[in-house]
Amino acid sequence: MAAYPEDPTKELGKTSHAVLINDNINKVPRDLALVGPEQRQFRSSVVLHGRVENLKSNDPAENNKQYYPGALPPVVSVIATDNDLFDGVNDADYAPSTEFYNVDSDPLIARINTPSKQFGVTSTIVTGDVGSLTLNSSALNTVGLTTNTISPSVNAIVPGQKISGPGIFPGTEVVSSSNDSGFRKIVMTQDRAVGIAVGDTLTFAPTPFNANQTWVTMPQLAVMETDPVTSNLDIFWESTTAGLVNDLNDAILNSTQSSVNLSSFNTDNFTEAIVPNQSGATSRILSANFTLQDAFGNDIDYIDQSPAQIVLTSVFNLQGDDVGPGSTNPMFELETITSTPGSPGVYNIKAKEFFYFSQQNQTKDTFTFTFTLNINGTESVITKTPVALGNENPTIAQSGSTACPGATTYYPGTSGGGQGTIANVGGLMDQLVHYKV
């Protein structure tokens, strides 16, 4: 509620009120330090942050909206029960505001300072201006209200409401309300005083609930958050499994595909100059040997096992041709360079066929390598792609040329792949490479 229940304009935009129920009592606690034995109102300094603001709407679909906070957040300044906060004990005319949730139980109410902007909606108060004091000249317990001044509706004045205003004694209540001679005749439990006059405004409380929703009194949803609590305790989340920490570490390091990787896979050495089936670096397509590494970059020691720690499962070019170890024409194989137990295994990829750079280099000469890793009994897969064949510049010798029919001159030399001759047609170098068949 914005402002005060008995005065919707008092401190509007600067003060709001909210009922504290259930767990909200703990989230917005009273400061019980340095309190007196008869103290009924308590200070608080809880900072709140508005998120959802209620609306005064009779459309159930438009009862609230998002709240956009200002520069300074709201702060709870006072907490007390409804009667203690609004002096209901000493005020005979006091009627708890039905705007507050479950107000009949005298709940705790938080007074909230809103320095930046209004939060919540104002209360609905039933008022009416005196229009006649002579509807029943022999009875002083009757007043006539001007009908068009009654707010929010003439139906909001009902028997049992308490009446307050000039010339009305404390504790006066409504006996009946009806139309009479163009006015709304109000019969009261006590006679009016001499000081009442035409034009005075009378207030009727509490505002009754209206089933037809001509006016809104039912509390609507509003949300405010407190600052998070910073705990000095380490918080551990429970799980449905239990075990040793070192087992968990091993599982994290070795049970997923991303936890084991290759130390490197540099294919700069894979060009058409490579010579197959040779010992040493001549046939290796990788410019540097690689090892298996865990998630922290530590080399994994070689173990003689079956299946092996790393297996070259397949190799396909981008045309879909199988050229791996299990194919009819394998072009690559995994070479184990170092296999000493207790030391990291060292590996490379060896070429088993000659390669030449052609116009199909983006498909036929580009490959996808798939490896299967078997570490600590757990299998994972690593894929390396694209692995593309590199070109090599040819070498040409100008001496020793041979003239042939058709103005074609052949010069001795080699292509980048180390084979064949290069033709000069009509005195201009042709880029065709002639290979021996």
pLDDT tens, 377-394? 888 889 998 999 998 887
The residue that leads in pLDDT, 71 or 435, is 71
Structure token digits, residue 16: 């709001």
pLDDT at 371: 95
Looking at the predicted structure, is the pLDDT value of residue 398 above 80?
no
Region 288-300 average pLDDT = 90
Q: How far, CA to CA in Å, does 188 sit from each of 63, 174, 203?
A: 35, 5, 13
Looking at the predicted structure, is the pLDDT value of residue 267 above 50?
yes
As a whole number of angstroms, the distance between CA 20 and CA 48 comes to 13
Burial annotation 274-287 (CB, 10 A radius, 16+ → b, else e): beeeeeeeebbbbe
Identify the bridge partners of residue 369 per DSSP, sorted by sequence position. 315, 384
> CA angle 290-292-298, nearest 5°?
110
Helix (H) or strand (E) holding 424: strand 421-425
State the alpha helices, DSSP H only, in 202-358: 245-254
Q: How far, CA to CA in Å, does 126 sit from each of 99, 173, 202, 208, 397?
A: 12, 14, 9, 9, 111
Average pLDDT across the chain, whole number: 84
The residue that leads in pLDDT, 288 or 89, is 288
As a whole number of angstroms, the distance between CA 193 and CA 312 comes to 105
Range with the poorest average pLDDT among 81-90, 93-102, 113-122, 412-421: 412-421
Region 174-180 average pLDDT = 94
The residue that leads in pLDDT, 127 or 358, is 127
pLDDT at 415: 52
**Residues 369 and 383 sit within 8 Å (Cβ to Cβ):** yes
Looking at the predicted structure, is the pLDDT value of residue 427 above 90?
no
Looking at the predicted structure, is the pLDDT value of residue 416 above 60?
no
pLDDT at 33: 84
β-strand pairing of 408-411 with 395-396 = unpaired
pLDDT band per the 50, 70, 90 thresholds, residue 237: confident
The residue that leads in pLDDT, 109 or 55, is 109
Range with the poorest average pLDDT among 92-106, 287-301, 302-316: 92-106
- The reported pTM is 0.50
Who's near 225: CB < 8 A, 6+ residues apart?
48, 49, 51
- Select, from the ranges 36-40, 196-200, 405-409, the one with the highest average predicted confidence (pLDDT): 196-200
Region 117-123 average pLDDT = 91
Find tokens 């308590």 and name the residue.
42
Range with the poorest average pLDDT among 199-203, 227-231, 258-262, 299-303: 258-262
Region 19-33 average pLDDT = 90
Looking at the predicted structure, is the pLDDT value of residue 433 above 70?
no
Structure token digits, residue 167: 């010339």
Instruction: Tally the residues of the chain.
Output: 437
Looking at the predicted structure, is the pLDDT value of residue 396 above 90?
no
Task: Give the side-chain half-sphere CA count within 13 A for 216.
Answer: 16
Region 87-104 average pLDDT = 79
pLDDT at 234: 78
Looking at the predicted structure, is the pLDDT value of residue 244 above 90?
no
As a whole number of angstroms, the distance between CA 367 and CA 362 comes to 9
The strand ranges marked E within 352-415 are 366-375, 378-388, 395-396, 402-404, 408-411, 413-414
pLDDT band per the 50, 70, 90 thresholds, residue 208: confident
pLDDT band per the 50, 70, 90 thresholds, residue 408: very low
Looking at the predicted structure, is the pLDDT value of residue 35 above 90?
no
Looking at the predicted structure, is the pLDDT value of residue 426 above 90?
no
pLDDT band per the 50, 70, 90 thresholds, residue 432: very low
**Residues 338 and 303 sit within 8 Å (Cβ to Cβ):** no
**Residues 39 and 78 sit within 8 Å (Cβ to Cβ):** no
The residue that leads in pLDDT, 48 or 417, is 48
Region 31-37 average pLDDT = 86
pLDDT at 211: 57
pLDDT at 425: 40
